[in-house]
Structure 1
Amino acid sequence: MLVYRVTLFLWCLFGLWNIIQAQSTNGAVNTATTSTPTTPTRMNRCHNGGDCKFYNESGYCLECICTVGFSGTFCEHVLTKLVGEAFFTKKVNSSLIPTNSTAIQQLIFDVVSPSKTNTTVMVSVSGTVNVIAKITICFERPYTWRNFTSAIPLQQQIEAKLKEPTSLALIFGNAASATYTNLNLDVQECVSMWHNCNKNAQCINIPDGFRCICDRGFSGDGVTCTAIKCMLSRVPELPTFATRKVITHNGTELTNPPEINSFGTVVEYICSKHYILADAVTSSTDPTVIECGGSPKYAGTNWSGNRVTCNIDTSLKIAIIISVVSSLIIIMVLGGFLVDYCVRREKKAKESRRLKEEDIGIENDNFHHP
């Protein structure tokens, strides 16, 4: 009977444990089922200012909408860019006829697009009598193009197209309403990546070419740019009565400055108390800053500034003058007392000798006349 009861009790405990396990498992499943799915983070892989056209389910950009001057799936290709102006002159009685900028745009596109891929043309016009059409043309650079002279034949083709009577009729409504004046186009070598400027230089577009200018902190012709360095041993010499500080471009003072210092390093001279720092050449109390890479250059080095000195402060000069004058007065007074003392002593000595001689003379007289 006891065995039966124990068995029944254990069987009940086992059943209860299974029920608890089932409930906990169902709870876990229900929790997972009702959780909110996460939205994948979108990855915009567009370059050069492009916007993503659409993303896939994983959030990756598959195609981009490029800004003017760029092409490719992700706007990774730089197009050749030409900018310029076309000039027209309207007849006075036709000044109120609007200029069809869309016609100019299409005419130029028809000239460029057959031989150039990814062509884009933009035109904006201004003026009533003297009409100026500002033109921007972008396309894939032909492999045969080497420099700005490669664009000359294209400019000639566009000019020939714009001056045709049929073209003027499309632009101004009537070929007799205006005349074509001229066109100038310039290749934008910098934005079109036609330049060979150093990575540490700026490309500046100029008519019929470009210039390379080294960035601040570098020197060279723009194609080759070398970081400016300065040797501490060639800095303007430390003047007498002064101490020196060497400070980096970010304001850190160097306890043990190296021999080779980078661009922007400044050397400061601090004169002792009652001395003023001055330019040894101009005597100015506001001397040129001694800086690595500054100007004007010092003695053919990369340091700027001139040799400096520590001049005596005006208050110290006055103090020295007063001290010297006071000393002279004291010396003169003491000298006067000393001279007076010496004169008195000499007179007293003379008087003593005279009296002594007189006494001797009296004694001699008494000896000879008893």
Structure 2
Amino acid sequence: MTTSYDVVAIGNAIVDILAQADDQFITDQGMTKGSMQLIFSPEDADALYAKMGPGQEVSGGSAANTIAGLAALGQPCGFIGQVADDQLGKVFAHDIQSLGVHFATPALDGGDPTARCLILITPDGQRTMNTFLGAAQFLPESAVDAATIEAGAILYLEGYLWNADQSRDAMKRAIGMARAAGRKVALTLSDTFVVEGHRDAFFELIDAGQIDLLFANDSEVKAMMQTDDIASAVTDLSKRLPVLVCTHGAAGAEAHSGDEHARVHAEPVAAVVDTTGAGDLFAAGFLAGQAQGRDLETSLRMGAICAAECISHIGPRPIADLKTLVADKLG
């Protein structure tokens, strides 16, 4: 069966609210700089928002950012994620649909409002995220329709969604549909706290052959393999997967597929402005490369180019012409 989309992603439908802050503000709020913490009530989210400086609203969510990057690279995509029937939900739907992405998940009527991530950006470009998941964690199984899953060559899953029972069940349903249709399944581990909470479940998926491509960073790979030796952790984890991609921040990234191995340096940038979404855009570039039939090294380079563009400005979505940028840099 032919496919209509290169990638269909399932992830948190979130609107990011980004504001500048100094290190003292981060300390005063009891946050760990550069980390992500959950906010469990809309009232607490409103209280933090009231303390923040002037903000910029940008549709976000890890997998949604990846899909936005893929769309900017010219790859046809779909997205499944839950918003509420409120203003932020309308913002999210408009933004992703305006990119040409198929997004038809019905808005939640009643219940929690649309998810938002309050992101504080310090002068060194580090982002400290405070996420209220709201409606995003209540993605029902009914939102995962077979027609959309079967239309995607790759199903891309956001690890953050594994934290909530309802969205986890929806993702399991999607994996079953993708497998039945002969599609590939990719998973991004998202964060070390996700790994720490669901390591065994992720290994069950991996060892059952349900994951074709795993995206992770240094910390996540070490948490999966329970070692501080990143080299051995990558080697051992890669043996259990068809494809493993591990990002190393400023030290670049590597990919393993059987006996094939590739590593690239990070692309240089004039200044790191905001690291929000860097990993998401890296995944977009790599997935685009794979969809175009590129080898591992070229796909890694495409990911590095997209990540560099992302960290050169505020916000998790590309503002430059990614398709032209990648073409120019690849030569």
> If the TM-score is normalised by the length of the shorter chain, which range does it land in?
under 0.3
With the length of structure 1 as denominator, give the TM-score of the two structures: 0.20
Higher helix share: 2
Larger Rg: 1
Q: TM-score, normalised by structure 2?
A: 0.22
Q: Relative contact order (C-alpha < 8 Å, sep 6+): which is higher?
A: 2
